[in-house]
A = this chain, B = another copy of it.
Amino acid sequence: MALAEIGRRGETGVDRAAFSAEDRAARRLLYVWAGECGLEASQDSIGNLFLRYPGRSGELAPVLTGSHLDSQPSGGRFDGAYGVLASLEAVATLSRAEIRPARSIEVVAWSNEEGGRFAPGAMGSQVFAGARALADVLTVRDAAGVVLSDALAETLAALPEAAPRAAGPAPSAYLEAHIEQGPRLDRADVPVGVVVGIQGCLWLEYEVVGAAAHAGTTPHEYRRDALQAALELICRLREMCLKRSPTCRFTVGRMAVEPNTPNTVPGRVTFTVDFRDADPVGFAELGRELRAACIGAACIGAACIGAAGALQACELHVRELFHHVPETFSKHLVDVVATATRAQNYPEFELVSGAFHDALFVAKVCPVGMVFVRCRDGVSHNPLEYAAPSDVTAGARVLMSALLQLAAE
């Protein structure tokens, strides 16, 4: 709650953009708290902030744990910040109990996970994992024209006590605690979840080209109505996906209609499909079929061309905006989190993450696992985001148990 005062908007909202004054204040507060636990601070070139609890064997690869401190422009108190503080609390508890495992444990606050100010997000974890080059992101500008390299330099300089991070071995494992940002734990009445992976995600943009025409004078049989064709296409694509993969997610979130006046038959409609599936085979197969719409409506199958026939009259183009295959977490880390959950006497509930997290990128360099905690009504990216004290405690307990196990290995 003290951290949520930094960038607070209204009663419970938070606006803490990456590399902003608020972000710098949050990093300093984290540094101060970590210092009280005797942790050693360092920063890397993209501004990821590391707080090290040294293990008995300095030469072993550390266990990494954390999340991010930046927020959505109209975000809440828990997304990201919870995972950083749960990690700190877990390590602080070990420190107070004078438990010193073989491996070091490093708490990390990843830079710019949200990407709301400087796109894209997950920048810190991507640069850390080598998924994106530092040089590529330094020239990114925010809406006000500020270049990232300047904002980053100011952020690094604001914490001179943190040493430049020394090169070292890749972590032996990475664990991230996070609010679920979805309703499954809440509906199942379970405080914590064992995350087994992150859904694959495919963003496609469809363009349907018909012919604009006067709504009053053009009989239906002469129309090439791009909106009616788009509706038909969406219905067919959605049905195809949900029928073949009942657990997939199919969302049309963005749509643009041209010329978009009441009395003109639409001549052009574009819409996006956000398709997600946890199963790598289903994700690949359905992704192929969704993309195949670009070679004409025929690809959807002759039976799918409805009675209205609007689709037949229009041209269809598809382009890919984004694509990430499903990530299945290391079985060992899933087991460690599940064991920790049972050890803390919470029911074991496995689930797949619907959203991305820094863990998705860190998985490129070491095994990763995640602990989810229940959030009220599944609401996130919203000032109303809420997780109960008993649930955030549960998540931190599971995290601590799991970290202890991993640091002993």
Contacts and interface: CB of A to CB of B under 8 A. Distances in A.
Contacts of A187: 222
A281 to B, nearest CB: 19
A266 interface: yes
Number of this chain's copies in the assembly equals 2
Contacts of A247: 219
A183 B253 CA distance: 35
Nearest to A257: B255
B213 A262 contact: no
Contacts of A184: 219
A293 B85 CA distance: 50
Contacts of A181: 214, 217
Interface string A289-325: 0000000000000000000000000000000010000
B262 A218 contact: no
Contacts of A250: 220
A219 to B, nearest CB: 7
A274 B216 contact: yes
A354 interface: yes
Given A187-B222, A231-B231, A249-B220, A215 B255 contact: no
Contacts of A182: 214, 216-219
Interface in A200-217: 201, 203, 213-217
A131 interface: no
Given A199-B216, A222-B183, A265 B242 contact: no
Closest 7 CB pairs of A and B: A182-B217, A217-B354, A216-B354, A215-B251, A262-B272, A215-B274, A216-B355
